[in-house]
Amino acid sequence: MQTIISLRRFACLEFIFLAILSVARGADEAKDPPLSDYIRPLVGTQGEGNTYPGPTAPFGMIQPGPDTNGGKFCGYDHADPILHGFSMTHLSGTGWWDLGDFLFIAGVGEPKFFPGSDKEPRSGYASAISHDEETALAGYYKVKLQDYNVWAELTASDRAALLRFIFPESQQAWILTDLKHVLHWDVVWSHVRVEDESTITGYHLVHGWAKERHLYFAARYSRPFKRFKIVSDGKPVVYGGDRFRTRSEIEGGALRFQSRREAAGANLQFLAQYDTKKDDVIQVKVAVSAVSAENALKNLDADLPHWDFDRVRAETQKKWDRELSKIRIEGTQEEKETFYTALYHALITPNLYQDVTGEYRGLDQNIHQARGFTNYAIFSLWDTYRAEHPLLALIEAPRDADMVNSMLAHYDQSADHLLPVWSLQANETWCMIGYHAVPVIVDAYFKGVQGFDPERAYQAMKTTAMNPDYDSLPDYDRLGWVPCDRETESVSKTLEYAYDDWCIAQMAKALGKEDDYRHFMRRAGSYKNIFDPVTGFMRGKDSTGKWRTPFDPNAHVDVTEGTSWQYSWYVPHDVPGLIALYGGKDNFIKKLDQLFDTGKPIDRKNEELYGLIGRYWHGNEPSHHTIYLYSCAGQNWKAARRLHQVVRRQYGNQPTSLSGNDDCGQMSSWYIFTALGFYPLCPGSENYVIGSPALKKAEIHLSNGKTFTMTAENLSDKNIYIQSVTLNGKNWTRPYLPFGELKNGGSIVFHMGPEPNKQWGVEDEGESTK
Amino acid sequence: MQTIISLRRFACLEFIFLAILSVARGADEAKDPPLSDYIRPLVGTQGEGNTYPGPTAPFGMIQPGPDTNGGKFCGYDHADPILHGFSMTHLSGTGWWDLGDFLFIAGVGEPKFFPGSDKEPRSGYASAISHDEETALAGYYKVKLQDYNVWAELTASDRAALLRFIFPESQQAWILTDLKHVLHWDVVWSHVRVEDESTITGYHLVHGWAKERHLYFAARYSRPFKRFKIVSDGKPVVYGGDRFRTRSEIEGGALRFQSRREAAGANLQFLAQYDTKKDDVIQVKVAVSAVSAENALKNLDADLPHWDFDRVRAETQKKWDRELSKIRIEGTQEEKETFYTALYHALITPNLYQDVTGEYRGLDQNIHQARGFTNYAIFSLWDTYRAEHPLLALIEAPRDADMVNSMLAHYDQSADHLLPVWSLQANETWCMIGYHAVPVIVDAYFKGVQGFDPERAYQAMKTTAMNPDYDSLPDYDRLGWVPCDRETESVSKTLEYAYDDWCIAQMAKALGKEDDYRHFMRRAGSYKNIFDPVTGFMRGKDSTGKWRTPFDPNAHVDVTEGTSWQYSWYVPHDVPGLIALYGGKDNFIKKLDQLFDTGKPIDRKNEELYGLIGRYWHGNEPSHHTIYLYSCAGQNWKAARRLHQVVRRQYGNQPTSLSGNDDCGQMSSWYIFTALGFYPLCPGSENYVIGSPALKKAEIHLSNGKTFTMTAENLSDKNIYIQSVTLNGKNWTRPYLPFGELKNGGSIVFHMGPEPNKQWGVEDEGESTK
């Protein structure tokens, strides 16, 4: 695009030409490259990030992408030079395996029907790849399959993927579909069916992290098959004329079915075979559906009625331009790549999970028609309630409302009458703890997200919080804490329930339910019951009220993915109360300092790879609010130092840049808020906590049409400390940014300097919420 | 009803009361018992019949019934005293296993979660039963579960079953549902879900004879569970608070899921637990759906909105009264039980396979909405095209049209573009040979069955017959025979293709497709190409034209389920041509005599159990037309002798009465036609062949509203020979009954005597078809 800019000076004609080009590419201003150009899909694909580099539309239903040999949680490991092929679905940034449905790979020569053995990963259909022959951009992925001299390119629309393969000359060219391929888990059953000489459909049932996942696909090929073959358990499916021939009877090395056009079983592959000339292009378009093969075909034909690869790619880029323009920043190339890639990662999940017909598979495995909302799936709520959904509430309000409605549908379909915990495509994975659909709903409600029924949502939240079976809720309700002798991770559960209950209480109050408000506010105070003043930590307590003994705050006991050192800061809804438990602000800050400073020298490797600063662990979500507690306690300058440290060392534009699982966008959303200078420490509350901006300027285009502008005057690598703040033209001294000051648009100006102004932001003394 | 009749004399009031009663029971005349009283569901449940004794509505969607330990093809063996329980679906009379979905059994004491071991069949939940404590009537089955002192009663409506259990006093009463139970095959996956405290739903995917069968159920209990339990792989599913807990982690003997209200896996049981007082009745109503659990619930609630067991039973009996009244006979109690039970067995299958919503699962596994027809499934066409469908064309024409439309939908959904061969609930089993959907369609067309599109049906038949993959059709088309070196059962396939092609040709002619007519008539003559004049048998011929050598007409070579002795008679569409091949009428009859008379004495056991008379094998379908060939050759009296022999020894009112698989009603339909005195030797043709009636009188109420009456004057055990025939008032000497003489109603009177009138029925000299 820089070449194009230089052309602008010549003539008016060129200007018009460029204006058209620029509109076509979705850039608002012809002088800037389109925002999607800053997307670096490889960020987070090496190390702990677990993102995947394949193309996707914003919140798209299909995520085609490369799966490497090592079996990374989300399919691809940038450090792995062996590629199995391209599967159609991927999670983004999770710390556990699932999806990876329906792998496609193209090659030449004798085809193989398994990816390769552990010892010899290239003994099957897998191929070597090189990053020198790999491109990953918004809506586009390209790589050379070195073993076959085949180039593969991928793009995706909302519900369909388009694969472009460029072949060498061969009498044995092929495109293989492996229905048995998923990431890590088991394909229980599958079928495949040749619909016509250039169309197939298929299905598989996967017992994975999602315990029962039914998925269909449809694929159309730009060139009719020269020949085709179905392979079952490694044997070609051939015509068999015997009676009772549907059962897999192996005869002469082949499986004798009556039909060679369809087969069913647990291990199926389909092979499209061609003769190719050099540089012959064969494309495959693929769509999925959780409802039926028929719907997969409908999704395919509705989304991709043509074969124009570049058009699909351009349209998807335009969608990204549109989404990314919701926060428009100024900064260096690296800052823009880092920021817009973070925003890209934040706007992939939750994913559309509804066919063009409006049908979707519900948690009850019935097929439902979405009425009055669009259904989304994949709710990594323990992660995303923190910053991802608060971000969506600001800039993606209509979608956030759809997501709330999707969660309410899940509740309606739940045998347990529970809102989602960690839901994955018509399944509850029961991963992690708490009931964090609650803060998502309550934050959306108080942030003015329209389009869901607050009363219905409230009843779902209350019923969830009163569930008689879930994770010791009755004990918690009765005792005031989750007893460590009856329940694992009892400290974390107590703390997170208390916060969720505070959220319910706020909404109860707003809806005039005073009794409920009191009930849930009582529960919101439960955190106090597990604070041990002797050790100064949150500590397991058993059902008789005795502390967990022996106790080690560095032990992984009674705590979810961490230690008491990390979890003892978790009272987002009552930071003054927490500070009081620690004996006041000074003690609190002293303890907070100890979290980061263990006395040992910083281990840069541990910091950059895993996000560890002392005992602080940015690589996992329980720490995400912790730095901001400095601000709440009146020492914003200490927050500034740590925030800039994390931003610089644990984010960036490289494959290794993410220090922890992106977790469906939460790691990235933390960055986005932090770079803008404020953070939703307590979703559901009025206030964001002010940190320290990492960008010179940003325009936030809210979903209500208003624009809120952030400017960080004098910001530099050294000028990271707030000297003063001007909010909507007023001098602003509180370390909080109220939603009320933001929602109608306006501006915040941070005046930055190289030394802390220790007097700024002290006045609230920890009143984070009101 | 006889008690009631004696009351009639007293007063007018009683008369009115009785008239109401009688209407309520569906009996047309108050003095006769309702026809459904003659149904003996146990007929065919011991030996080769393979019927099942459970209740069903005519052509019903659900067939609840008892499954005994031995694993009979259709679930129940009258000779087996150990019962596993009651599953919800059964085939009727097939010679292969499938269905047996979702077993329910009730008991008291410590419940077990497997049926029992091979060595100790009562070591699991199975119970002993006794025929002294068993009743099987129309729409009703009752048995005592001796191991538990529990009485079980079953009834069924069109789409739902109602189970009534009568318990002894127990603190440990239970009703178990085994989702793993099917007949013989494998449950690949299942799930079960507690919808509320008296409702469950479930699903399983079965890899059986039908290669991929998805089925859902819903069950409502008349009493809420006192307690309940889900068991997976023999372990109770208990609440588990660990993360990643959906995967089956065995801990302390239990499977830890987050929810105890739902589970998924390959081996699941659900246990409803109760405290019972003596004679406490707990009922369960169950419906199935191939579409969804939601639809199973809709089927259940639409069909059984109440809990009145006796009402369901009475309504189903009334449905049977209505169906059976389509052929009203005079005869002894035994004759009526035999005849009406045969008619009952003929009117069970094909089965309704469509939910109350109009949705059904198609062959392509998509969910379709049936538009303009009702969808039926289970087409045992190699059997039922012979007499079952010709019977339906006469007395169940609207349903026969629905069945044709169901087969056309199957064709539309077939990856192979083939009409059904042996279809089983959204699956093609590929069982048996030929394309006998063709004679069903063509016979329906020529018998005036309205409600399907002949042109569409024709195209489906032609495409099927020209399929490039199916069972050597291209070779057959090119050579004139199926070559025995390239295809199994080549003799049978050649013969049956030739007949099917003759049917297509007739319809081509009727639709004015002269070229097609000639093409298929050429193929219809293919039978001549495999008749070996030297041996006098149909004989395998290879692709070079060489005969199968060595050749043994008693060998099971090149023939489907039989020998050349049995198959060499199969040219239903050109009996004169067949007779000519044998060198004329005399030689033909001589050979036919040899079929029955091998010189060895008749083995009564082989005859009664398996239907063997010499080499004639009535127990299997290829022989079903053979006796009638005597009539075609002008010796009706020889047919009479053999027909009466078969009727007397191989049919009846006892569990052992059927000498061969009832095959979805074909064995029974042979009996019905034969007892009426004529038989559809060549479905699709104008003529029925006259045999020798076995009933004194019958009124056939045709679907067009006309009545055709058969009277056999002077018929007795000895008077089995036709002396003369009066058809619609005319003396009738031809051994054929043209459809034209029957379709407008009328009468045929057979004048019977003890000695053959060898002059009767000689004139046509084998012209069975024109």
CB contact under 8 A, B264 and A212: yes
pLDDT in tens, B613-664: 999 999 999 999 999 999 999 999 999 999 999 999 999 999 999 999 999 9
Does position A744 have pLDDT exceeding 90, yes or no?
yes
User: What does the alpha-carbon distance between residue A673 and residue A52 come to, in Å, rounded to a whole number?
Assistant: 23
Predicted complex ipTM: 0.93
- Collapsing DSSP states into helix, strand and coil, what is residue A171? strand
Digit-coded pLDDT (tens) for B658-705: 999 999 999 999 999 999 999 999 999 999 999 999 999 999 999 999
Q: Which residues of A48-69 are buried (b: 16+ CB within 10 A; e: fewer)?
A: bbbbbbbbbbbbbbbbbbbbbb
Cβ atoms of residues B225 and B261 within 8 Å:
no
**Residue A138: which of A299, A319, A288 has the closest Cα?**
A319
Question: What are the Cα distances from residue B300, in Å, to B201, B221, B456?
Answer: 11, 12, 35
Q: Check residue A601 and give left, alpha or beta (phi > 0: left; psi -120 to 50: alpha).
A: beta
Spatial separation of the C-alpha atoms in residues A57 and A157, rounded to whole Å: 6
User: What six digits make up the tokens of A73?
Assistant: 């949680």
Q: Taking a contact as any Cβ pair under 8 Å apart, which residues of chain B between 349 and 408 contact chain A?
A: 364-367
Sign of the torsion formed by the C-alpha atoms of B3, B4, B9 and B10? positive
- The 8-class DSSP code of residue A131 comes to G
Under a CB-based contact definition with an 8 Å cutoff, are residues A300 and A218 in contact? yes
Interface contact A193-B415, CB threshold 8 A: yes
Higher confidence at residue A6 or residue A434? A434
Q: Is the Cβ of A510 closer than 8 Å to some Cβ of chain B?
A: no
pLDDT at A154: 98
* Residues, chain B: 770
Look at residue B273 and give its three-state secondary structure: strand
Best residue in A430, A482, A493 for a mutation probing chain B (most B CBs within 10 Å): A430
Question: Residue holding tokens 């069970």?
Answer: B348
- Higher pLDDT: B609 or B14? It is B609
Does position B265 have pLDDT exceeding 80, yes or no?
A: yes
Residue pair B527/B571 in contact (Cβ under 8 Å)? The answer is yes
Q: What residues 440-479 of chain A have any CB closer than 8 A to a CB of chain B? A: 469-472
**Per-residue b or e along B664-680, where b marks 16 or more CB atoms closer than 10 Å to that residue's CB:** bbbbbbbbbbbbbbbbb
Host H or E run for residue B45? none
Which of A98, A211, A225, A295 to mutate to probe the B interface, most B CBs <10 Å? A211
**Do residues B130 and B144 make contact, with C-beta atoms less than 8 angstroms apart?**
yes
Residue A150 phi, psi dihedral angles, 5° rounding: -115, 130
Distance CA A402, CA A370 (A): 10
The pLDDT value recorded for residue B242 is: 62
CB-based contact, B196 to chain A, within 8 Å: no
Contact call for B243 and A416, based on CB within 8 A: no
Q: In sequence order, which ranges of A115-160 are alpha helices (DSSP H)?
A: none
Confidence of residue A764 (pLDDT cuts 50, 70, 90): low
CA-nearest of B558, B550, B555, B455 to B508 is B455
**Could you give the CA distance from residue B247 to residue B240 in angstroms, rounded to a whole number?**
11
> Does the beta carbon of A293 lie under 8 angstroms from any beta carbon of chain B?
yes
Q: Which two tokens stand for residue A514?
A: 């005073």
Tens-digit pLDDT profile for residues B551-601? 999 999 999 999 999 999 999 999 999 999 999 999 999 999 999 998 888
Q: What does R_g of chain B's alpha carbons equal in angstroms?
A: 27
- pLDDT for A565-581, tens place per residue? 999 999 999 999 999 99
A188: nearest CB among B189, B239, B487: B189
Give the confidence band of A503 by pLDDT, cuts at 50, 70, 90.
very high
Percent of chain A with pLDDT over 70: 93
Average pLDDT over residues A161-182: 98
Q: Mutation test of the interface with chain B: which of A248, A289, A366, A380, choosing the one with the most B Cβ atoms within 10 A?
A: A366
**Hey, is the C-beta of B303 within 8 angstroms of any chain A C-beta?**
no
Query: In b/e form, how buried is each residue of B118-152, taking b as 16+ CB within 10 angstroms?
Result: eeebbebbbbebeeeebebbbbbbbbbbebbbbbb
Please, which pLDDT band fits residue B256 given cuts at 50, 70 and 90? low
Are B364 and A294 an interchain contact pair (Cβ–Cβ within 8 Å)?
yes
Identity of the residue in A191, A293, A430 whose CB atom sits nearest the CB atom of B245: A430
Local structure of A178: helix, strand or coil: strand
Going by their DSSP bridges, the two strands B707-713 and B746-753 should be labelled as parallel
pTM, two decimal places:
0.94
Q: Is the pLDDT of residue B752 over 50?
A: yes
Instruction: Answer whether B415 sits within 8 Å of A261, measured CB to CB.
Output: yes
CA pair distance B111, B106, nearest whole angstrom: 9
Nearest to B533 by CA among B560, B572, B498, B568: B568
What pLDDT, in 10s, does the model give residues B137-163? 999 999 999 999 999 999 999 999 999
Element (DSSP H or E) covering residue B726: strand B721-727
Q: How far is CA B266 from CA A61, A749, B121, in A?
A: 29, 62, 22
Task: Compare CB distances from A189 to B96, B189, B246 and report the shortest one's residue.
Answer: B189
Structure-token match 């009138």, residue found: B757
User: Exposure pattern of B420-455 as b/e (b: 16+ CB <10 Å)?
Assistant: bbbbbbbbbbbbbbbbbbbbbbbbbbbbebeebeee
DSSP string, A474-509: HHHHHHSS--TTTSTTHHHHHHHHHHHHHHHHHHHH
| Sign, CA torsion A682/A683/A689/A695 | positive
Please report the pLDDT score of residue B193 as a whole number: 97
pLDDT at site B462: 98
Range name among A93-107, A518-532, B249-263 with the lowest pLDDT average = B249-263
Judged by phi (left if over 0) then psi (alpha if -120 to 50, else beta), residue A358 lies in left
Q: Nearest-CA distance from B568 to chain A in Å?
A: 20
Residue B254 has pLDDT above 90, yes or no: no
CB contact under 8 A, B427 and A365: no
Identify the pLDDT of residue B769.
Answer: 43
CA distance B420 to B427: 9
What rounded mean pLDDT belongs to chain B?
Answer: 93
Helix or strand run (H / E) with residue A71: none
Cα separation of B120 and B767, whole Å?
60
Rounded CA separation B677/B688 (Å): 10
Interface check for B212 against chain A (CB to CB < 8 A): the answer is yes
The reply to whether residue B188 touches residue A188, judged by beta carbons under 8 angstroms, is: yes
Given CB atoms, is A246 within the 8 Å cutoff of chain B? Answer: yes
Q: Which residues of A touch B259 (CB under 8 A)?
A: 415-416, 428, 430, 469
Main-chain dihedrals φ then ψ at residue B692, nearest 5 degrees: -155, 120
CB contact, 8 Å: B245 with chain A? yes
- For residue A193, give the nearest of B187, B413, B433 by alpha carbon: B413
Separate counts of helices (H) and strands (E) for chain A:
21, 38
Per-residue model confidence as pLDDT tens digits over A256-285: 677 889 999 999 999 999 999 999 999 999
Nearest CA to B80 out of B37, B115, B104 is that of B115
Residue B365: which of A260, A293, A415 has the nearest Cβ? A293
Mean pLDDT in residue range A530-559: 97
CB pairs under 8 A between A and B: 144
Start-to-end CA span in chain B (Å) = 49
Of all helices (H) and strands (E), which one includes residue B685? none
Beta strands in B208-279, from DSSP E residues, in sequence order: 213-221, 227-232, 235-239, 249-251, 254-257, 262-265, 268-276
Q: Which of A366, A416, A469 sits opposite B292 (nearest CB)?
A: A366
Q: Angle of helix B490-510 relative to helix B514-524, nearest 10 degrees?
A: 160
Residue among A194, A205, A489 minimizing CB distance to B189? A205
Residue B200 scores a pLDDT above 60: yes
- Tell me the CB-side half-sphere exposure of residue B99, using CA atoms within 13 A: 32
Does the pLDDT at position B453 exceed 90?
A: yes
Q: Which of A117-131, A549-563, A596-610, B233-247 has the lowest mean pLDDT?
A: B233-247
